Structure 1
């Protein structure tokens, strides 16, 4: 896995603004197993009004370019905000099928992301659930990788 400064900068800003978020997708797979190539980082944010305000401040400080985004859009249940281009794209999501953010956040794992010490990751069990539910080819591959290479705690 390569280190991308933009990812670290955004995670630091989310922490600075005390945003409730979870890293999901390929980087969560790598956190719970061994590194797996991914073309983006997926970050799920809690879509409450209060958290949306914090996330909006963090995103604006990060710099979202010409993307027209209103703070209230971060309270939608199904927003996918894509920043940049693969292989270093950032996807901000406000909903994940089949999971409630508050429940997943309680079960989260906290760990390092390169030079960022405290990053919130989707739990192993919730990651298995989301990958199984999604069922796309890349999710099936990620699920297999995750089970085969799971880190011991």
Structure 2
């Protein structure tokens, strides 16, 4: 199977532009990136689907072609288009809601996440200092005090 070089270059360009836009903090650019990636996936399915041929209906031919077109690629593209449009509608609704609440389109950092990361940075040094040292001389296979707790029946 030979594939033209142009669809592959277009596929790479759509994917790279889509990933670049998807990594932005602007919801509209995220939506455009998602749509570009969806179109790149559709192009990939077309390229992988193979050459065009006769319709996949018994007894029908077109242009004296002996090859029958793969109906699976067409069905997958239609499904991918519907899924992409559903996700796009969801992101548009999320964008509208975010704009109505904050009158901004940028996705900001979550204040709770910032607090947690600050606490983690300050506690990292304290945890290293307060961590108990393991006594390797006492680490044996013998039962410890916790193994003799009331109600502990061990493995049966």
TM-score of Structure 1 vs Structure 2, range by shorter chain: under 0.3
More strand by share: 1
What is the TM-score with the length of structure 1 in the denominator?
0.23
Greater relative contact order, per chain length (Cα 8 Å cut-off, separation 6+):
1
More helix by share: 2
